[in-house]
Amino acid sequence: MVFEQFYLPCLAHASYIIGDEATGTAAVVDPQRDVERYLAFASEHNLQIKHVFLTHLHADFVAGHLELRDRAGAAIYLGARAQAEYKFTPLGDGSVVEFGRVRLKALETPGHTPESISILVYDLDRSASEPHAVLTGDTLFVGDVGRPDLRAALGWSAGDLGALLFDSLHSKLLPLPDASLVYPAHGAGSLCGRAISKETVSTIGEQRRLNYALQPMSKKAFIELVTADQPEAPPYFVYDAVLNSKERGTLDKALERELKPLELERVLALQAGGAQVLDTREPEEFATAHLAGSINIGLSGQYATWAGTVLNRENPIVIIANPGRESESAVRLGRIGFDNVAGYLKEGMWSLDLRPDLTATTDRLSAPLAAQIIASGEPPQVIDVRTPREREQKFIEGSVSIPLNRLAERVNELPTNRPLLLYCAGGYRSSIAASLLQQRGFDRVSEIAGGIAAWESAKLSVRSAQA
């Protein structure tokens, strides 16, 4: 048996390929939308991808099942409760897909979503009775369990799904042998859970001992635990969950349409017509000079998540990137189903060398300088764009909390008669926030370079909401 985990850090997403060397057959579970890595791996190992499974209709990314169907001829498998526009094989409890010395057996494990399944992986050369591993999707993570509140917009209450999740964990997964390896669909940083470990593999026995949500408790207590204090989900989650059930265009077709260079005058015309100009360079580069009115979401951070949070999926997007990174910028938007890229600025910011009148800058202040300005007679309004949970740990005294995902709707709360000074944890989100405010006409916006981490490194004091 060939078994390989593929991990995509920017989405904290894990996918898997399971192959049988004797028959040259492989299956992919929960693929990302750009599927070249699976096709390359299969070719290197003389495998043909004939099967593709989704453990559920994912909300945080668009899966690559249609891409593997069209490019490799793979058959699609979903949980028996799933509904989709494309042809698929429904898998109920005990459904088996076997090829060579590999057996994949489905367990219905609803809770994160109604149609969720887990997949038992048997290496028949080792044992036909005990699974080598279980691919748990978003039902069970390392250190956490799937949140049950992401289907509220589709008519499912968090309480009802939480009850199903409890039953799935206790009747389907916890009875598995302690040695069974646990391979989830997400790791630390994913918004599909609350406290997911940075580890990407565990065992049933280890999770039974260490996972807070698997400790002895009543179903009522479990539901209260897993529905409380969940991070707010980005608005594109419902869109992606629905899109994963649709017969949609594939990523390669979208990129054929999107990856075209645009002259500066065309970009300006699109911007004037309502297009969103997305600058994917790093915050430091953006601050030095950028096209006025553009939004900065750097490729080094949680680019897709924040793009899906602050951009409108209906309006065209024009990309400004460092030359050579235009394709990456578009592909990573495509991973969350944002196929509305109109093109990219030809030659990037170099095309603006002779047009300084079209550029703007953002002041990024060192922490000591920011502290001096805050202590001056005319201090700026200091805005903390981190999450409420982060702020509970520590914050800069005198700052107000406006999380980045709420900034656009709360912009009317901001003063127009004094400067604004933004900070986050390290400077990534504050750059996004500053660009959004500049786009909305705020002309006295600055950031603390390095965020609260730099503030503390400079031995400047912070306060704790808990204290």
Phi, psi of 402 (to 5 degrees): -135, 95
Q: Taking all residues of the chain, what is their mean pLDDT, rounded to a whole number?
A: 96
Name the active-site residue from 214, 424, 434, 445. 424
CA distance 315 to 338: 10
Summarize pLDDT for 131-178 with one digit per residue, the tens.
999 999 999 999 999 999 998 878 889 999 999 999 999 999 999 999
Angle formed by the axes of helices 303-310 and 428-439, nearest 10°? 30
Q: Which of 53, 44, 54 is nearest to 21 (CA)?
A: 44
CA distance 269 to 274: 9
Strands (E), 321-388: 341-345, 359-360, 363-365, 381-384
The tokens describing 271, both together, are: 């911007």
Summarize pLDDT for 86-112 with one digit per residue, the tens.
999 999 999 999 999 999 999 999 999
Q: What is the pLDDT of residue 467?
A: 54
| Element (DSSP H or E) covering residue 400 | strand 400-401
Where does residue 267 rank: exposed (0-12), middle (13-18), buried (19+ CB within 10 A)? Answer: buried
Q: What is the pLDDT of residue 466?
A: 63
Known active-site residue 192: no
Summarize pLDDT for 416-463 with one digit per residue, the tens.
999 999 999 999 999 999 999 999 999 999 999 999 999 999 999 999
CA distance 13 to 10: 8
Q: What is the pLDDT of residue 464?
A: 86
Summarize pLDDT for 305-361 with one digit per residue, the tens.
999 999 999 999 999 999 999 999 999 999 999 999 999 999 999 999 999 999 999
Q: What is the pLDDT of residue 231?
A: 84
CA distance 207 to 45: 32
Q: What is the pLDDT of residue 194?
A: 85
**pLDDT value at 380 more than 90:** yes
- The pTM (predicted TM-score) of the whole model is 0.94
